[in-house]
Amino acid sequence: MWPMTTPAAVIVDATAYAQAVEDATRAAAAYYAGGSSPMDDDAYDRLARGIAAWEAEHPGEVLPDSPTGKVAGGAAEGDVPHTVPMLSLDNVFSPEEFTAWTESLARRVDREVARFAVGPKLDGLAVAARYHAGRLTRLITRGDGTAGEDVSHAIGTVEGLPETLAEPVTVEVRGEILMTTAQFEHANEVRIQHGGQPFANPRNAAAGTLRAKERAYTVPMTFFGYGLLALPETGDELAGRLDELAYSELMETAAGLGVHTSAGTAVPDVVVETPEQVVARVQEIAALRAELPFGIDGIVVKADLAADRRAAGSGSRAPRWAIAYKLPAVEKITRLLAVEWNVGRTGIVAPRGVLEPVVIEGSTITYATLHNPADITRRGLRLGDHVMVHRAGDVIPRIEAPVAHLRTGEEEPIVFPDACPRCGSDIDTSEERWRCAQGRNCHLVASLAYAAGRDQLDIEGLGTTRVVQLVEAGLVADLADLFLLGREQLLALERMGETSTDNLLAALDRAKEQPLSRVLCALGVRGTGRSMSRRIARYFATMDHIRAADAEAMQRVDGIGVEKAPSVVAEIAELAPLIDKLAAAGVNMTEPGATPPPPADADGATAEAPGDGGPLSGMKVVVTGAMTGNLERLSRNEMNELIERAGGRSSSSVSKNTSLVVAGEGAGSKRAKAEQLGVRLATPEEFAVLVADLLG
């Protein structure tokens, strides 16, 4: 499926047109001057399309300040001339527009284009890096396309932009400077420490940082090369050779010189032969967008062969041999109206932002996560702020930062609770994530309902309504009390007849026999979930071994690192009284088929736990899409359990370390990524054959 079309803003008359031109020019100037803008990308694109549509109908009334036909919207200036114009790209937003562009390109070159290069459109700032005899001597922004701003002071702060090339050539490398997600978070931390407001998004952060001079601090950025050309003083031999190379060959040459390109990412530029293959690649890159460690806002399609590029030529603003297929915006500016404070089942007091509704990727967003009180303080958020909201794919919407230059002075401080908003108890504020002093007991109903769920203890007949009834009757105060319930106690409750009572008691007896992994999951240890609970249980085999483990031993469990291990150990210790009570009630505390790890030696080291064997031994397996056949009846958690009983490790994300992806009906981005990485794929039916002995 193609991404959604970005609609044009409706401009009704010449007055509205003049205002739109003024707004667009001001927004572009603010962005290109310092990385800030009163508009998000989607709003600017809609405005620019509206301006272009009005001008197409009124060609005699085009204003000289119009951003159409101008590089960088006509807003950027510079005093360093470009040897070859540094143009922008025209955009398409729909399959119809893309088809029209390919037809136009074929007419211009008087033939069907032989090959296309297709790659990510990086969301950063375009620059030209000039190398003389292999040494980086100057860094220049795009500017207005004919001249740019000298930002050579940033040399040495940009990863992927070598100060010395692998060969002593005199060339210009063109590309994009951006901040990765990790660099953006670091930049905002440093900026806040030095008394500044956080950047609204990585693109603005890169633009502002690149231009900043004489700062008391520096933060890293990343360069991706997308062009290579000879400088006038290069010499005819190299210049002539570069002019004849295909675009894909130019990028191979740049990479060979030590320049960072998209080749090492999950979305490398690839060469295809037909528009249909371009479409397929666009869909693949769009599917992977949410998982990338850097931002993209589209896909760039270029004629690969030098002859096709020469024949197509360029306009005043953009080359005619390349186009950008824009993707729907994943970031929008809206207002923070209020902050709600919710209490989770483990007692965590979590803030949630209430937003002025905004549409992102086709979904209306009214709430966004605010992580924790410390995060609110770090970002300097205030009620009434215009905020940048980010959402990509199925990712929970989050508030990135306030758009500080849009403040009116009427914004108000966010008031933090001084008592638990659910039960009124004290709040433990010793960590970044605040927690009710009552812990799980604050939200006892949610905690018990979670423990009784299908993927935990699977206690049939114990839904939320029944849990509420038991809690209000004073019959249960913790999870272990469920297993101490007597028949007469249950019969005394409303709507509990003999049949329903006997069925519930039978379900509780079955729950006592569940494997340790499910018991551990039912306890709701912070920092773990279903998969992690299985790994812990299968590694240690018994609850006694889990309780005896220190942080160092806990780190030996796959997926538990230095930071998580101490909190898991502390949480297990905190749950000790409840665990003792569960064991006394007859609840199983062992993992079937698992063997405890051998004791550590004198240096604290231990051998790896014995492997499980089985048909998936040592394999990392991802399940995506709807299962069919013999697997149709299994929940996703039961599928993961099956994988681990077969000796494998279940995972939710595809990487180069993935061994197998089980792709059912409707598999999307994970299947696409597996194909791109060359990971083995299996249908549900093929996978069922692999694990047939365990299906029963």
Which sequence positions are flagged as catalytic? Answer: 121
Of all helices (H) and strands (E), which one includes residue 673? helix 669-677
Contacts of 256 (CB under 8 A, 6+ apart): 166
Q: Tell me how far CA of residue 80 lies from CA of 127, 214, 233, 239, 303, in angstroms.
A: 12, 21, 17, 21, 29
Residue 519 CA to residue 225 CA, distance in Å, equals 52
Per the structure block, which two tokens stand in for 459?
């206690």
Q: What angle do CA 577, 578, 580 make, to 5 degrees?
A: 65
Whether residue 388 contacts residue 333, with contact meaning beta carbons closer than 8 Å, is answered with yes
Whether residue 303 contacts residue 322, with contact meaning beta carbons closer than 8 Å, is answered with yes
The residue among 444, 641, 587, 427 whose CA lies nearest residue 524 is 444
Q: Is 478 exposed, middle or buried (0-12, 13-18, 19+ CB in 10 A)?
A: middle
- Number of residues in the chain: 696
Whether residue 351 contacts residue 373, with contact meaning beta carbons closer than 8 Å, is answered with yes
> Quick one: DSSP state of residue 542?
B
Backbone angles phi, psi at 430, to 5 degrees: -75, -20
Residue 268 CA to residue 678 CA, distance in Å, equals 14
- Helix 636-645, helix 530-540: angle, nearest 10: 20
Where helices occur in 212-358 by DSSP H, the ranges are: 236-244, 247-256, 275-288, 306-312
Per the structure block, which two tokens stand in for 601?
């030696």
Residue 639 CA to residue 633 CA, distance in Å, equals 10
